[in-house]
Amino acid sequence: MGRDSRFVVLYGSETGTAQDVAEQIGREGKRRHFVPLVLAMDDYSITQLINETLVIFVCATTGQGDEPENMKNFWRFLLKKNLPIDSLKSLHFAVLGLGDSSYIKFNFVAKKLNKRLCQLGGTQLLIPGLADDQHDLGPDGVVIPWLKDLWKVLMDLHPLPPDLSIIDDSVIPEPKYKVKFMDSNMNNLLQVKKTNESNKRFRSRIISNQRVTAEDHFQDVRLIKFDCNFGGVDYSPGDVFMIQPENLEENVEEFLQLFDISPNTMFTVEQNDANIPIPNLLPCPCTFLLCAQIYWDIQSIPRKYVFELLSHFSQSELEKEKLQEFCTPEGQQDLFDYCNRPRRNIIEVLQDFPDATKNLPIEYLFDLIPPIKPRAFSIASSSLATPNQVHLLVAVVEYKTRLHKPRKGLCSTWLSRQKSDDRVTVGFRKGTFKFPRNDLPVILVGPGTGVAPFRSFVHERATKTLCNNVLFFGCRSKSKDFYCADEWQQLMDKGVVRVFTAFSRDQENKIYVQTRMMEQSKLIWELIYQDNAMFFLAGNAKQMPVDVLESLHRIAQKEGTMTEQEAQDYIKNLKNQQRIQLETWS
């Protein structure tokens, strides 16, 4: 080729968005005659990084500025102090961060990674891209122009030889996988394969699934209890329970109707590219029905590549024109208004472009539709208080957009429909909270389902008779959504915890957790300043964390007689010491 064609794209993400973007970069690299290797960071042999000349990193930020699960080992290795400062002197790199500016540590991981790669001698191709979910166009508002700049830099650095040119957009890209249909009935083999894959995690039996909000309350919140008597399973307060959901029955039926394929049609999936492995969660062989039930995330919101791919298969000029328009820079606002703003899912997009859908080969469904990712929930129980059980507080997500059908959260809705003795595929993961193991006082602020990890921690402390716990809980109404009210009363009667409640809608003036904090400013200051208490906050990432931290600043000024700057420095120091910890989500 007359140039080094090796091109590595590494991603770290909890949700799969970074993987989607990394695969997009890989596809665009192929059009420019690079040979891309696209992997999760922890699947890449990091000792090879010293030999690489060109790597693009795509990473999200989780928790309190933490790296995603599939990036942890990679990041731990990069932080080794004995790495020479010129380790990566041959490397040209670029970092693209995917974040949400409503979080306090916006794109923190991307910024840290970029800095560390520079420290180790890497050459930065361009400034990090910091995509923001809050942008008017979503992440694409940053991703699209950043990638345009990236390709300009890369093509200047690695120009094409005279006998090659960039492959035109009109050429249909090769699918990720080959699909081979099978004639023979292999149901037994299929069942064995499905069971073996599931055993890489655990199959947990549901003990009970109880609604903990009033029947007439707008929000359905569930306390779901799981039997986790797997042997050797242990978890701590703050840890996370991973749920592998399945698609909703009505969505599967709607999806299957779009294709002229029998649901029982059996096929195998094979690699088309040695660098793209077959996912472990994909049963192989598989039926079209099973794939629609447990593998394809048919409720997900399509990325721009979906429209690009569909445009190749539509024979309707009207459809093709609209699909191509959505892929142009000028069409991004229209695409966002059509797809992201109303949260239109893949099923609905396929319905809106029936000619493209009718002509779509089945193998391209693996390019169009991402796999269902496991969902993370903070564990709300203690393994000491309730051995061999895990409890979750699950808010069932349902909301309206301008589309006729209400939007429903895949995992929460699916979980809400599970009955006692149903089986669910689950797993465990360490959480971001680092609770004290000794008898240090704690202040816990957990509005809504943010109280889940604190229920776990307080129950655990109750088994050890550690009583210096203060909880600020907020919800709308004492009679509608005060989760586990009887439990908290029992724990208060035993002296395990002091609970201060804020029921925002039970009176004319709205009362929030920060209101109660200011009322208890003297107690909070004594616990933090005199007794070295730790402060934990969990809940929605929008305005609440900002307001709570602002209340802490005001308490430091009021009770500690500090200036505004002194209070800011004091709170910042507490964060650095991990005496203030936050876990928020959007």
User: Per the annotation, does 515 bind a ligand?
Assistant: no
User: Per the annotation, does 291 bind a ligand?
Assistant: no
Distances (CA, A) of 465 to 178, 231, 496: 59, 27, 7
Cβ contacts of residue 127 below 8 Å, gap of 6+?
none
User: Per the annotation, does 13 bind a ligand?
Assistant: yes
Element (H, E) at 452: helix 452-463
| Tokens (6 digits) for 361 | 């080969």
Q: What is the dihedral of CA 322, 325, 331, 335, to 10 degrees?
A: 40
User: Per the annotation, does 120 bind a ligand?
Assistant: no
| Tokens (6 digits) for 201 | 């995690």
User: Per the annotation, does 336 bind a ligand?
Assistant: no
Distances (CA, A) of 364 to 305, 330, 369: 12, 26, 9
**What is the 8-class DSSP label of residue 371?**
B
Distance (Å, whole) CA 93 – CA 320: 36
Helices (H), 246-287: 249-256
User: Per the annotation, does 17 bind a ligand?
Assistant: yes
User: Per the annotation, does 554 bind a ligand?
Assistant: no
User: Per the annotation, does 18 bind a ligand?
Assistant: yes
> Do the Cβ atoms of 436 and 528 come closer than 8 Å?
no
Length of the chain: 586
User: Per the annotation, does 577 bind a ligand?
Assistant: no
User: Per the annotation, does 106 bind a ligand?
Assistant: yes
User: Per the annotation, does 412 bind a ligand?
Assistant: yes
Please tell me whether the peptide bond between 139 and the residue prior to it is cis, using omega within 30 degrees of 0: no
Distance (Å, whole) CA 416 – CA 120: 49
User: Per the annotation, does 511 bind a ligand?
Assistant: yes
User: Per the annotation, does 431 bind a ligand?
Assistant: no
Distance (Å, whole) CA 329 – CA 559: 54
525 burial class (0-12, 13-18, 19+ CB within 10 angstroms)?
Answer: middle
Distance (Å, whole) CA 454 – CA 483: 12
Cβ contacts of residue 516 below 8 Å, gap of 6+?
472, 474, 500, 501, 502
User: Per the annotation, does 44 bind a ligand?
Assistant: no
User: Per the annotation, does 246 bind a ligand?
Assistant: no
**What is the 8-class DSSP label of residue 338?**
I
User: Per the annotation, does 16 bind a ligand?
Assistant: yes
| Tokens (6 digits) for 466 | 């550690």
User: Per the annotation, does 538 bind a ligand?
Assistant: no
Closest CA to 467 of 487, 448, 449, 494: 494
Distance (Å, whole) CA 463 – CA 424: 29
Give phi and psi for 462, each to the nearest 5: -60, -35
Distance (Å, whole) CA 363 – CA 361: 6
Distances (CA, A) of 285 to 264, 290, 294, 533: 12, 10, 14, 55
User: Per the annotation, does 547 bind a ligand?
Assistant: yes
Give phi and psi for 391, each to the nearest 5: -115, 140
User: Per the annotation, does 14 bind a ligand?
Assistant: yes
User: Per the annotation, does 561 bind a ligand?
Assistant: no
User: Per the annotation, does 491 bind a ligand?
Assistant: no
User: Per the annotation, does 377 bind a ligand?
Assistant: yes
User: Per the annotation, does 437 bind a ligand?
Assistant: no
> Do the Cβ atoms of 142 and 110 come closer than 8 Å?
no
User: Per the annotation, does 167 bind a ligand?
Assistant: no
Residue list for the binding site for NADP(+): 449, 504-505, 510-514, 547
Residue list for the binding site for FMN: 13-18, 60-63, 98-107, 133
Residue list for the binding site: 13-18, 60-63, 98-107, 133, 343, 375-378, 409-412, 449, 504-505, 510-514, 547, 585
Residue list for the binding site for FAD: 343, 375-378, 409-412, 585
